[in-house]
Amino acid sequence: SAETEKYRPIYHFTPDFGWMNDPNGMVFHEGVYHLFYQYYPDSTVWGPMHWGHAISSDLVSWDRKPIAIYPDSLGYIFSGSAVFDRENSSGLGSIENPPLVAIYTYHDMEAEQSGATDYQYQAIAYSIDQGISWDKYQNNPVLPNQGIKDFRDPKVMPWTLENGNPGWLMTLAVMDRIQFFSSENLLDWKMESEFGQNQGAHGGVWECPDLIPMTAPDGSQKWVLLVSINPGGPQKGSATQYFIGDFEEGKFTPDDQLIRWLDYGPDNYAGVTWSNVEDRHLFIGWMSNWLYAQEVPTEKWRSAMTIPRELSLFEVNGTLLLQSSPAAEMKELRRKTYPLSQLQTTLPSEGVELEAQIKNEEEFSILLENELGEKVLITRANGLVSVDRSIAGQVDFHPDFPAVHSAPMSWESESIRIFLDASSIEVFINDGELVLTSTLFPNSPWKTARFSENLSDIVVYELNYED
């Protein structure tokens, strides 16, 4: 059974078999969270992309569904988003039964191989049965290539047009920049502006953007622009940077020149937020890194998603930063509780959450160990929070996998929550003011956890969705 497969997560989403990368088309509709994803069912490495599909009513337990969108003569189905077209602006449903509309990139592999440069373009598919089955729009593409070959990963949101009419805004990754397009009907798109050629990190190509309106702690309206980048992340390989600024008249202006990273671990990429969710910014990312994603030692499938997170803004020393808290729904997974009276414990399962308060906020350490002497060390020292997976089991499938990953932290660490699963660790300091997400492939499950003396109120929760 799935439960006994080596490295199969207990509570993270994975495909049953085959290859998965980015989350796609995340939309909430009629009480259901849809999660689509880059999927190649015929192999455990990347290949002709489909959109796989899963649904959840609580964000934490997922039902796998049949493949939603298949590649065709226009190309592979690359990343994109989905919206609820409530007013049937596209005309693809009806007023009585408005459609869900997916906007994705076609990647025409044959065109690429024959030397063309216009092989990525945007297209749409729609569903009039609540996201179960999808039809492609007859006149695809809706946004042809404009002369730059990297032209992908449309994230669409409702937006008020210049003339005051309701419409849509598309945020698109275009090589080393973002382009914004607007539309009245999701079918015809007009360029509004571009951003980023001289801003942010540029160690690799820009991918999978998301533009999110958020409220700052002082009550002002800010816009957060997520931009995934591969390579050029702070831990090598792929990672997600973000900008904070204003979005007015179709144009994004950042507040400052700071480079900010969403997650300082090596394994959180291409994440974006769910559309059609009121008042919350719910995020999920692909829990891997293009550096070694296709070499990790799982057999039947490759890659998991991160746990769902809720994004918000907080301020530290006058600087706004993005907080990624574990979604409140994660508490629904708590089964048995083990409050600790000593600083060492045996872990009850491969799926656990560890929680502690930090007394001397400048340092702490937590050591995880298994019966084979393999270890993971989580520490704060010298202004850095680190996760060391250099001797955490199977590490030599790629030279960059065994490493210590550190994040600068200039403010106090007051609490820590760690989500451990069969092949991952997600560390949240101060409920997500700082996050490090890493995959791990121990040769035997983590058995003991040891806490430094300044950690208190330690609780171990066994996590599962079954009772």
In sequence order, which residues have a C-beta less than 8 Å from that of residue 308 and are 6 or more positions away?
59, 60, 282, 283, 284, 326, 327, 329, 330
The tally of CA atoms less than 13 A away on the side-chain side of residue 271 is 30
The least CB distance from residue 107 to ligand FRU, in Å, is 7
Find the binder of ligand FRU among 21, 145, 324, 349 (CB under 6 A).
21
350 counts as binding ligand FRU under rule CB under 6 A:
no
79 counts as binding ligand FRU under rule CB under 6 A:
yes
The least CB distance from residue 106 to ligand FRU, in Å, is 10
Catalytic, out of 22, 210, 267, 431? 22
Output the CA angle 269-274-275, nearest 5 degrees: 135
Q: What are phi and psi of 298, to 5 degrees?
A: -100, 155
The 152-191 contact track toward ligand FRU, x by CB under 6 A, reads xx--------------------------------------
Please identify, using beta-carbon distances, which residue of 6 and 236 lies nearer to ligand FRU.
236
392 counts as binding ligand FRU under rule CB under 6 A:
no
Q: What are phi and psi of 180, to 5 degrees?
A: -110, 135
Find the binder of ligand FRU among 10, 27, 49, 352 (CB under 6 A).
49
**Looking only at residues 261 through 290 of this chain, which bind ligand FRU when binding is defined by CB under 6 A?**
270
3-class state of residue 361 by DSSP: coil
Total residues contacting ligand FRU by CB under 6 A comes to 12
Residue 275 CA to its chain's centroid (Å)? 14
192 counts as binding ligand FRU under rule CB under 6 A:
no
Instruction: Give DSSP secondary structure letters for 207-274.
Output: EEEEEEEEE-TTS-EEEEEEEEEES--TTSS-EEEEEEEEEETTEEEESS---EES--SS--EEEEE-
Please identify, using beta-carbon distances, which residue of 124 and 330 lies nearer to ligand FRU.
124
Q: What are phi and psi of 89, to 5 degrees?
A: -60, -30
The least CB distance from residue 358 to ligand FRU, in Å, is 34
**Looking only at residues 320 through 339 of this chain, which bind ligand FRU when binding is defined by CB under 6 A?**
none
388 counts as binding ligand FRU under rule CB under 6 A:
no
354 counts as binding ligand FRU under rule CB under 6 A:
no
- CB neighbourhood size of 137 (10 A): 18
**Looking only at residues 193 through 212 of this chain, which bind ligand FRU when binding is defined by CB under 6 A?**
207-208
- CB neighbourhood size of 33 (10 A): 23
Find the binder of ligand FRU among 8, 11, 20, 22 (CB under 6 A).
22
Please identify, using beta-carbon distances, which residue of 207 and 421 lies nearer to ligand FRU.
207
The least CB distance from residue 229 to ligand FRU, in Å, is 10
The least CB distance from residue 21 to ligand FRU, in Å, is 5
**Looking only at residues 399 through 438 of this chain, which bind ligand FRU when binding is defined by CB under 6 A?**
none
The least CB distance from residue 208 to ligand FRU, in Å, is 5
> Strand pairing of 301-302 and 18-29?
parallel
The token duo for 278 is 């009121």
The least CB distance from residue 7 to ligand FRU, in Å, is 21
Instruction: Please name which of 83, 65, 77 lies closest in space to residue 21, comparing C-alpha atoms.
Output: 77
CA gap 262, 240 in Å, rounded: 6
CA gap 61, 445 in Å, rounded: 22
The answer to whether the beta carbons of residues 233 and 255 sit under 8 Å apart is no
The 103-132 contact track toward ligand FRU, x by CB under 6 A, reads --x---------------------------
CA gap 9, 292 in Å, rounded: 19
The least CB distance from residue 76 to ligand FRU, in Å, is 7
Please identify, using beta-carbon distances, which residue of 153 and 374 lies nearer to ligand FRU.
153
CA gap 442, 372 in Å, rounded: 9
Find the binder of ligand FRU among 38, 289, 306, 437 (CB under 6 A).
38
Q: Is 22 a catalytic residue?
A: yes
Q: Please give the residue ranges that form the binding site for ligand FRU (CB under 6 A).
A: 21-22, 38, 49, 78-79, 105, 152-153, 207-208, 270
- Could you list the active site residues? 22
